[in-house]
């Protein structure tokens, strides 16, 4: 299997210490660990939002740490997707306009998409239908539920067809039913070939992933391999992850 992402000896002063991590194409992985252990920092480094003090981050074989600020922004826009808990949707735009925004931005770059606005709106509408929020196009972001807004965030993250999707606590603000729906969405998108990396505090969320990493004091201190999610194994996987977490003092 080929790697989509790999780190070599990642070091960030006082936060991350010699993190060596790799992710295969098509993989769905979770990162768990106590608050302050460095999970978000790891995501910022992997996505080029921040730079390490030492070590390398290889994305599709290229060391992104030596890219310029502009190159990293372009890479994020065109090859990566982001679903964060704080959501960063713009309050002055409706749901549809929030969703198409990254695609719109991509159009304005060199070698960006050449799609018309009508095409982008059609694609966004198709994504919204897929994730079950068709009909909410013209709502303001304050006029939909937390689960609906998070699904809109997933649509926005998907607009530029990312190779790798980063999610930081994507279900943190959601109730149990909405969390399950969001995870079904991630699993479905992963089956279509997109690699997914999720930071989560929820062992049920982690148990939907192929692999769970445990982060402690800026190091990856353990790993739990689960294989591809099957609904019939739901209960057993959750037990396996819970037991594994207990071993780590969770």
Ligand X SMILES: Nc1ncnc2c1ncn2[C@@H]1O[C@H](COP(=O)(O)OP(=O)(O)O)[C@@H](O)[C@H]1O
Q: Which of 7, 40, 150, 160 binds ligand X (CB under 6 A)?
A: 40
- Decide: is 45 part of the binding site for ligand X (CB under 6 A): no
How many Å apart are CA 195 and CA 163, to the nearest integer?
6
Binding mask 5-34 for ligand X (x = CB under 6 A): ----------x-----------------x-
Judged by CB under 6 A, the stretch of 39-47, 75-83, 174-182, 238-246 that binds ligand X is 39-47
Q: What angle, rounded to 10 degrees, do the helices at 176-191 and 146-158 form? A: 20
User: Which residue, 46 or 141, is less far from ligand X as judged by CB?
Assistant: 46
Question: Counting beta carbons within 10 angstroms of the beta carbon of residue 58, is it exposed (0 to 12), middle (13 to 18) or buried (19 or more)?
Answer: middle
And the tokens for 197? 């990396």
Q: Decide which of Mg ion, ligand X, none touches 35; Cβ closer than 5 to 8 Å per partner kind.
A: ligand X
Asked if 41 is part of the footprint of ligand X (rule: CB under 6 A), the reply reads yes
Structure tokens at 2: 């080929």
- Asked if 5 contacts 211 with a C-beta cutoff of 8 angstroms, the reply is no
Bridge partners, residue 16, by sequence:
12
Report the residue from 6, 21, 39, 148 that binds ligand X according to the rule CB under 6 A. Answer: 39
195 binds ligand X (CB under 6 A): no
Phi, psi of 84 (to 5 degrees): -110, 155
Stretch that binds ligand X, among 37-45, 59-67, 78-86, 126-134 (CB under 6 A): 37-45
Which residues, in sequence order, are bridge partners of residue 219?
216
Binding mask 39-58 toward Mg ion (x if CB under 5 A, else -) reads xx------------------
How far apart CA 243 and CA 19 sit, in angstroms, is 24
Q: Residue numbers of the site for ligand X (CB under 6 A)?
A: 15, 33, 35-41
Residues that bind Mg ion (CB under 5 A): 39-40
């Amino acid at each position: 299997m080929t790697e989509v992402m790999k780190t070599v000896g990642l070091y960030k002063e006082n936060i991350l210490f010699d993190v060596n991590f790799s992710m295969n194409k098509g993989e769905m992985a979770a990162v768990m660990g106590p608050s302050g252990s460095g999970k978000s920092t790891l995501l910022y480094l992997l996505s080029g939002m921040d730079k390490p003090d030492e070590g390398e981050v290889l994305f599709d074989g290229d060391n992104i740490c030596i890219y310029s600020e502009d190159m990293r922004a372009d890479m994020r826009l065109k090859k990566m997707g982001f679903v964060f808990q704080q959501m960063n949707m713009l309050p002055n735009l409706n749901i549809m306009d929030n969703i198409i925004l990254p695609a719109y931005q991509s159009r304005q770059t060199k070698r960006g998409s050449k799609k018309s606005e009508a095409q982008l709106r059609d694609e966004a509408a198709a994504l919204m239908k897929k994730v079950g929020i068709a009909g909410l196009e013209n709502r303001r972001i304050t006029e939909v539920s937390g689960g609906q807004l998070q699904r809109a965030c997933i649509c926005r993250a998907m607009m530029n067809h990312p190779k790798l999707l980063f999610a930081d606590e994507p279900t943190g603000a959601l109730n149990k039913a909405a969390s399950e729906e969001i995870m079904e969405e991630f699993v479905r998108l992963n089956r279509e070939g997109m690699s997914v990396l999720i930071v989560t505090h929820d062992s049920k969320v982690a148990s939907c992933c192929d692999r769970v990493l445990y982060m402690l004091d800026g190091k990856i201190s353990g790993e739990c391999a689960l294989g591809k999610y099957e609904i019939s194994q739901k209960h057993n996987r959750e037990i396996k992850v819970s037991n594994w977490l207990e071993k780590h003092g969770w």
